[in-house]
Structure 1
Amino acid sequence: MLEDMTIEILLKLPVKSLLRFKCVCKYWYTLIRSSTFVKKHLHHQSNNARLLVHYYNCSTLEYSFAFFQDKTLATFPLVYYDVDGVVIPNNPNIFGHYDGILGLYDWDSIALWNPATREFRFLPMPNPDIPPRFSVLEHKFGFGLDHTTNDYKVVCIRTYYYSEDYEDYHSAVIVLFHLSTNSWRLFEADLSRVTYVHESSCSTCLNGVYYWLTSVLDKLEFRTTYFYNKILTFDLSNEVFGDIPGPQDIPKLNLGNLILYDESISVMCFDQREVEKYVDIWVMKEEGCWIKELTIGPLVDVGKALGFWKNGELFLETITLKLVLYNPNTQEIKDLQHDGPYDMRKIFVYTESLVSIKEGNEC
């Protein structure tokens, strides 16, 4: 009985406290490191969602990470210009998060980072053979957990273009990283049906499957215009790609992002054509079946929609680059009092985790 009570108390504590309490005694050390306790703590009701804001300035090439530790977002955030003392070359981007672990990358490096435990791990760079006269165009990533093997995996879609004919001929090479073996392996797949893979604005891994929004180039117009076509999927356990029809009623000029809304794969569309802007949420109720769940607006002086917080509240970036929180029910706008000369802002809602990413440790 006393042991159960101790476990229940420890499950309610933040990661920072639990890391200190590992030094109390051998039993607590073993308990807090156990996979059972780590999983229970991650999904415990007292483990509140946290907000991470990623800023990047295109002019100065500077970046920062702002952490809102208070669940009410009332406390001024902690701001970091490096990652726990580890200097990242160039300007890192976040390709997703899962179980409290964030994936970071730039052109020359890839890494995993657990902000709660302050663990940071560089991954070896994948170097698949480049076809003759091809150049690297971009990388797109997916990150999640293989529930069959309890292994975290990173899938990287590296796109190449033919150097002599940039517009018409692209090629993709897929490599898959296993955290348990610390190694990449080449993955055979035909993605010729995909013209462009869009990076999700948040983690879009659900039930062991990662999802990307894809689009095709509209060559009937005289400007570069992409319209959304299908949802590309990757099953982390079976290691199989698939595709699902996307919403067919989205206007071509709406800017959409794939998100998780109410524990479902959804597309968030932001209409930028009018002075008064609207946000539409399309939810996939079952595979290939989409329903417009809600429309938020009209919104004024808004530059873009960033993602959702608790109780359906929506993060917005104003045209003056202020970060605000909009309540669709009351139509109240809360200025989070955290802005600066930054653009390309992304928000990530995540929960703290004891999951270790160190080499040799149980994942």
Structure 2
Amino acid sequence: MKGLNKTGTEVPEILVLEILSKLPVKFLTRFRCVCKSWSSSFQTPLFINKHHLNNLSNNNLNLLLQRCHGHSGEIHYFSQLSTEKGQNFMVKQNIHLPICENYSAEPEVVGPCNGILCFDAELKIGLWNPSTRQFKILPECSIERPPSADSTSLDAIGFGYDSLTDDYKVVRFVRNSFEYEFDGMSFYSHTITQIDLYSLKSNSWKELPDPGVGAGCSFTFTNYINGFYYWPGTDASGHTILSFDMVNERFSTLSLPEFDGSLAQNHLELVDFKGSLGAIVYPREGTLKSIHVWVMSGSWTKQHSFESVPGVERPLGFWKNGKVFLESSDHELVLFDPSTRELQNIGVDAYPNKMLIIVYVETLVPLNGMSELEELIMRRLPSWRPVK
């Protein structure tokens, strides 16, 4: 469908679509009703990619905060934070996902990858596009487990994009544990790890060879970077970094940066730092913390050091202009400006060590799932919190 300008002259369709690709998803959702041509154009890979690249180039960032409340932090939900100038990251709405119900542990959230998030709650996995408000529960894995295994649990999970086949993939490490009894008591004798890989395009699972490297959980930051997913890992020689190539579906390892102290004294978080693999190192103890950022560019180099930041529990994520979101020692969300060393209190709190900040750009990527309403996902005003 061509458009008309003020003089009544027709505007070429390619220019109309170029203009539309710069609009927020909520407007494009409404404009699908204008005509069939627009509706079908919005679903093409070319338009979806153009829209996403426009958001990236204009740095149109959105914020979700995973948080929880309750006596032991068992009530999990998300808060959509405003990114508009002058609104000080106020809570716009609270979002409750049923996949997080009846789950005493913290649900694992990985991503975003091109604006999509992946959830795991006791081996039940879902994908969520908060822009289009689509949610997809993945089918149960058909991979056969060892028949004599006494329990099955998740060790680690990753989520990323295969640019060669235009596919989104989930990889997870499943631990099968075997017990034996001695003198009336049960002990784990050994474990067997299986690697499951899910393809959104085929909507199916398959098994991958075990790389022989244990993968650890790291959910504070985005660990998907340019076609690879990264985990902190361990092998026969000690601590390492395990990576997975989403295109070739192969594992490899990297060394850790050579920071002062040990992992017993410091946290090490992997992070997407401006399109490169980064590592954030900070002390486990104390509330006066120095935060160091290392970046891999052929080799590890120390990129930034934020010395002696007061009243800090841990870093949560990067924001615009080099600013950093932190969890304070009072378990509130604060924004730190390294250039001025100013700490800005956002006025949002949560149960200790349960906050997760998610910075994403909008995307039209379809999940072939259900709408939020169909999945009973609730969005409510800031005064509302989910209760049991």
TM-score by shorter chain over 0.5 = yes
Q: How far has the Cα of 1:353 moved from its partner?
A: 0.6
**Structure 1: distance between partners of 2:297 and 2:219:** 19
Deviations 1:130-157 (A, max 9, x none): 3634432433111111111111111111
- Specify the alignment match of 2:81 in structure 1: 68
**Structure 2: distance between partners of 1:275 and 1:204:** 26
C-alpha contact (below 8 Å) 2:67/2:351 kept by paired residues: no
Match of residue 332, structure 2, among 308, 322, 326: 322
Q: How far has the Cα of 1:337 moved from its partner?
A: 1.6
**Structure 2: distance between partners of 1:293 and 1:37:** 36
Stretches (4+) displaced over 3 A: 86-89, 164-170, 215-218, 272-275, 340-343
Deviations 1:251-273 (A, max 9, x none): 21101111011221011111133
Match of residue 94, structure 2, among 73, 80, 84: 80
C-alpha contact (below 8 Å) 2:227/2:245 kept by paired residues: yes
Q: How far has the Cα of 1:355 moved from its partner?
A: 0.6
Match of residue 139, structure 2, among 124, 145, 160: 124
C-alpha contact (below 8 Å) 1:306/1:346 kept by paired residues: yes
Change (3 A) 1:162 1:324: same
**Structure 2: distance between partners of 1:61 and 1:123:** 24
Greater Cα shift, 156-165 or 237-246: 156-165
Change (3 A) 1:128 1:247: farther
Change (3 A) 1:129 1:272: closer
Change (3 A) 1:176 1:341: closer
2:306 is the counterpart of 1:292? no
| Structure 1 alignment gaps of length 5 or more | 219-227
C-alpha contact (below 8 Å) 1:69/1:75 kept by paired residues: yes
**Structure 1: distance between partners of 2:271 and 2:113:** 14
User: How do residues 107-186 of structure 1 correspond to structure 2 at under 5 angstroms?
Assistant: 107-126=122-141, 128-130=144-146, 132-164=148-180, 169-186=190-207
Match of residue 231, structure 2, among 207, 212, 225: 212
Amino acid corresponding to residue 281 of structure 2 in structure 1: C
Query: Which structure has the larger Rg over C-alpha atoms?
Result: 2
Amino acid corresponding to residue 159 of structure 1 in structure 2: R
- Specify the alignment match of 1:225 in structure 2: none
Greater Cα shift, 271-280 or 302-311: 271-280
Indicate the SS of the match to 1:17: helix
Change (3 A) 1:213 1:171: same
Amino acid corresponding to residue 6 of structure 1 in structure 2: V
Change (3 A) 1:274 1:321: closer
- Specify the alignment match of 1:336 in structure 2: 346
- Specify the alignment match of 1:222 in structure 2: none
Amino acid corresponding to residue 24 of structure 1 in structure 2: V
Percent identity between matched residues is 31
2:30 is the counterpart of 1:20? yes
Deviations 1:261-290 (A, max 9, x none): 12210111111334521101111111xx11
- Specify the alignment match of 2:380 in structure 1: none
- Specify the alignment match of 2:221 in structure 1: 202
Amino acid corresponding to residue 275 of structure 2 in structure 1: E
What TM-score results when the alignment is normalised by the length of structure 2? 0.82
- Specify the alignment match of 1:270 in structure 2: 282
Match of residue 38, structure 1, among 48, 68, 73: 48
Q: How far has the Cα of 1:216 moved from its partner?
A: 6.6
Indicate the SS of the match to 2:40: helix
Aligned length in residues:
345
Deviations 1:50-102 (A, max 9, x none): 1111013471510110112424462522333423xx55443433122211111
Q: How far has the Cα of 1:160 moved from its partner?
A: 3.2
Q: How far has the Cα of 1:161 moved from its partner?
A: 3.5
**Structure 1: distance between partners of 2:332 and 2:161:** 34
| Structure 2 alignment gaps of length 5 or more | 1-10, 181-185, 371-388
